[in-house]
Amino acid sequence: MQCRRAGTQNPSVAHTEGENPTSRSSSSSHTPAPFLRRGMRQEAAAAATTSLVLTQDARGRKDNHHHRPLPPEEDDDTDAMTPPSCTTILLRRDGEEAAANEEPPQLVPPLNFAMVDHGVYRSGFPDASNLPFLESLRLRSVLYLCPEPYPEANQEFLRARGIRLFQFGIDGSKEPFVNIPEDRIREALKVVLDTRNHPVLIHCKRGKHRTGCVVGCLRKLQRWCLTSVFDEYQRFAGAKARVSDLRFMELFDISSLKHLPASFSCWERSTE
């Protein structure tokens, strides 16, 4: 009688039905199944990770495509001019602003300058700084009331612009030795009354006394009352007003000049 231990198997016991002994021996030579399943799981995880990274990268590129401006297209024309540098643009802009902000030179009128009537002006002696202003008046003539020779620089200015010079020298001595030649005042007035000489500038040294006498006598020809004549003289002479000048204007006889027209007021400007 044979005895068997519990839980033991006789190696000589035949294999179960349907099991191929050759397949068992051959399967023992390959990698065990647990290792195959583990490798497949690792490859699947790696593939999923790679797919996730690619998806995120594509999404990031898509976002950048919407938020970032496209780079400018390159010009294929190799002959295109090189754009100016920033320095060139700034220098050009500064130059344009300087030209735009550049102001024209200021015009400086002579001492005691004023308009007597349309086409008739009065002033003191013009110096070099006043010449651009005189040029703006488009003068045709200058009436000079001093005996001294006219400066060469002023004469050159007049010659270059075709301005005629009339000189009637009147002594500018102070009182009580004042001699105002009536004949010269009369000749000076004839020049002023001739509209062919307009625009004309009347001037002496300061534009006060000799010029004031000529303008005062002109006002008498224009039918001004003596009060208005004296007020105008006083406005330019100031504290240097001379009683002899006032007396001369009061006694000046305009009868010999009444035949000359004095109609050169602003509403009757001569077109000659």
| β-strand partners of 108 | none
Residue 98's Cβ-count burial label (10 Å; 0-12, 13-18, 19+) is: exposed
Half-sphere exposure of 193 toward its Cβ, with a 13 Å CA cutoff? Answer: 20
- DSSP state letter for 176: T
Cα-only R_g, the chain: 57
Using DSSP, how many helices (H) and how many strands (E) does the chain show? Answer: 9, 5
Kindly name the residue from 86, 204, 213, 266 that is annotated as catalytic.
Answer: 204
Please choose, from the candidates 176, 178, 170, 248, the residue with its C-alpha nearest in 3D space to the C-alpha of residue 213.
248
- DSSP state letter for 240: G
Please choose, from the candidates 142, 136, 137, the residue with its C-alpha nearest in 3D space to the C-alpha of residue 158.
142
Is 86 catalytic? The answer is no
Instruction: Name the 3-class secondary structure at 146.
Output: coil
* Angle, CA 244 vertex, CA 242 and CA 250 arms, to 5°: 110
Catalytic residues: 204
